[in-house]
A and B are shown apart, each in its own frame.
Chain A
């Protein structure tokens, strides 16, 4: 039996299950808070910061990630305020200029309102969302990959950069990677600094309307939480 608490997200009253996060509760009700590193059944690390919301408490608002914020009785959340949208847009801009060839990230960026990125494109591909590392560690208990290095040097690697015996090439990490969707072949060639907007056309779902998820192809490939 679940115990429930009442929370308010974007003005809608929700019944949050005790122990679940604000993001999970919102997604269950079809309130789409953009997210990248969050995966159902994996631990949340709050790395991508896309799922930030305003937590309104005693008249003061605090920006925090909804994937790490547990529901509490009487909680008031604004997931779509102008401030949150602006910050989220800037984070999506950082992400998409870092890994411009990921269609999942392009889609997120467009949905967050990035049209003309103001930074030079890099083609790092990996944005260190850690989905691969967590599925390997938590689902398969293989601990075959992990994060190595600090800051700019941080990357996903085998221990001591050698494939351990615990890696059985199951490719769970690959299927969960935001890059695993076939990269957009047309407009995002290195050096070209603009969006074509085609990605968004694939996900023309009206936003923030409960029950309106179209179960789009992109969402499936990207393991969108609403697809599971």
Chain B
């Protein structure tokens, strides 16, 4: 492909590609997101390709492997357009039937359709599935319309037209004012107004300026950025080039964690394609703008998601944050003005330029505009990536989109924002997804992780888990984070192991607040949130651990005991075979018993028993 030299040429090519794709051929879209890959979607795709080739569907049926569609629970997913038929949990063995019946004859394979658990009926098309219905698809939905390896796919859906619009006569100030009017705020967790950052960086003195895309996503259970970077890397590049134009930079970096090999690969490929087409390099689209972007791989430190630590890491230094009394927009990477935004923030930029600020600010609440991609995980029926407009209630996300608790259990809480966020109880599920509202309630939307918890989750144990994570991931530079979080963990561990006292609860609160106020960087300042929010909303669970020596959820091993219910046990011997410590005794068809001295409370008997005869107390 020769370089696209002008804006008119881009327009012609875009129109040609769109026209070429609007024939009535059948399009089979296989989701190639991380969730579906884990369930071997590539085997399904390979089988589909083989089947299509051997049946001679040249041109009349196409196959496309795309980025994440979001509905990971149903993976591998195959969507057949134009009729929009949705097949979930497809196995390679199902492929022949799909091709024979649906592609050739237009029939539906009933057993592969999604069954709505609330009605028990099957749903034919993707847009009728409750999981998708309550969402506001703007950014994530682009994923299923393009192959991340194909620049042509991106151009066909209007790719790089926002860049063309900017370069064909918008001044940097106009771009910034558009972003300002849209109300876009940083999606990485801080929620800082993007336009303010850009304007400050534009005003900062410096010959050389930089734009950075922060793709060092590390929250447990979060994979929004991965979903976009793997599925739609060109949207990020386009956003970054527009941002660079606005602030006056001509060098950009995508800092992506090395644990995302596919994201690294897709970003690199997208960059080399963009160079080939002339969207990166010198004299972009004949406008005179020069710009290049590089991929930098992170070494796996959670703290490198913090902006100053990320820049230190990019410079080749130890990834440690520095005090932000001097802002990075003035003295950032190599001491030069730098604008750092999250993946999702950058990816939102082209659509804002194309559709206008009013379109974007029409979605959301007063202070949080647009949509947010959330990674819905935990004890919920439908896990996956969801995109909702700000202002959507947590209840809609958990119950309508997520389908409520698993196995009929009651949802107790939701943990938002990863280790920096907090736990909100089910009574607060009417709260909207909003930067400020959740922050006031002691949690945060963060980068968008949303872990649903039910009655089988111990909230003290949750606090312990996140403290352990943060203790491991703290860089160790400042005292409140290194020693403070360590002491918080020490106290919480005492509580979960039955050594807690009520004075310790007060100490937890006081120390938590001290760490939050005095830590050096964002990681430390938000580190006590999990413990503070669980203390605030679930004091009765701490109370049960401390004064009654009991773990209500049956999780904290020091406080529980396993036994076998004499009435329900039918002596099948399943638990006896499963027990790794040989702690279960009993003869066939006779009541079994647990030797508590040998029992390590691993819980394997609990899962092996078919009659629910194992009792945890």
Contact = CB atoms under 8 A, between A and B. Distances in A.
A70 B326 CA distance: 9
Interface stretch (A88-96, A134-142, A164-172): A88-96
**Chain B: interface size category:** 20 to 34
Contacts of A150: 301, 303, 472-476
B487 A119 contact: yes
A68 B479 contact: no
B126 interface: no
B49 interface: no
B483 A98 contact: yes
Contacts of B323: 45-46, 64-65, 68
Contact of A68 (B325, B482, B487): B325
B507 interface: yes
Contact of A151 (B318, B472, B480, B514): B472
A91 B326 CA distance: 24
Nearest to B521: A46
Interface string A77-120: 00000000011001100110010000000000000000000111
A63 interface: yes
Interface in B269-325: 301, 303, 318, 322-323, 325
A52 interface: yes
B483 A151 contact: no
A151 B476 contact: yes
B168 interface: no
Contacts of A149: 476
A161 to B, nearest CB: 16
A49 B520 contact: yes
A109 to B, nearest CB: 12
Contact of B477 (A47, A95, A119): A47
B510 interface: yes
B455 interface: no
A94 B480 contact: yes
A87 B518 contact: yes
B518 A91 contact: yes
A128 interface: yes
B511 interface: yes
B479 A91 contact: yes
Closest 4 CB pairs of A and B: A154-B476, A68-B323, A90-B514, A151-B474
28 contacts: A45-B323, A46-B322, A46-B323, A47-B479, A49-B518, A63-B517, A63-B518, A64-B323, A65-B323, A65-B520, A90-B511, A91-B480, A91-B518, A94-B479, A94-B484, A98-B483, A120-B490, A127-B479, A128-B477, A149-B476, A150-B473, A151-B471, A151-B472, A151-B475, A152-B476, A152-B482, A152-B486, A154-B476
